[in-house]
């Protein structure tokens, strides 16, 4: 079969999807985790009796405990969001073959 001069094999392949949304999501997840670490550290410092980190926001031990729990919750949510975005970034976008079509191994 003769190929013509204007044949381009790249047109036959599907375009790779752009991953910028997932990259931005992973960055936001990392920022949430960082903010959660900082809030948890502020709550721990306030519970330990150090100088108040956030001014009058955490004067009592109850408010310091709320800061600690909020920081740990943000840390967990940020890590979960970051991991889900990273998992979706690493998924293969190719066609998958059925196992019965693969080469038989004895």
The residue ranges of every structural domain in the chain are 19-89
Alpha carbon distances (Å) from 41 to 16, 57, 71, 78, 84: 42, 14, 8, 16, 25
How confident is the model over 39-96, as pLDDT tens digits? Answer: 999 888 888 876 566 666 656 788 888 889 999 999 999 999 999 999 988 876 655 6
pTM: 0.67
pLDDT of residue 1 exceeding 70: no
* pLDDT of residue 100 exceeding 80: no
């Amino acid at each position: 079969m003769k190929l013509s001069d204007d044949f381009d094999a790249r047109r036959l392949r599907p375009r790779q999807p752009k991953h910028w949304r997932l990259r931005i999501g992973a960055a936001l997840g990392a920022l949430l985790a960082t903010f959660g670490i900082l809030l948890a550290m502020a709550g721990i410092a306030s519970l330990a009796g150090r100088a108040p980190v956030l001014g009058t926001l955490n004067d009592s031990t109850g408010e310091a405990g709320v800061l600690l729990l909020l920081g740990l919750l943000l840390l967990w949510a940020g890590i979960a969001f970051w991991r889900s975005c990273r998992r979706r970034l690493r998924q293969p976008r190719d066609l998958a073959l059925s196992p019965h079509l693969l080469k038989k191994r004895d």
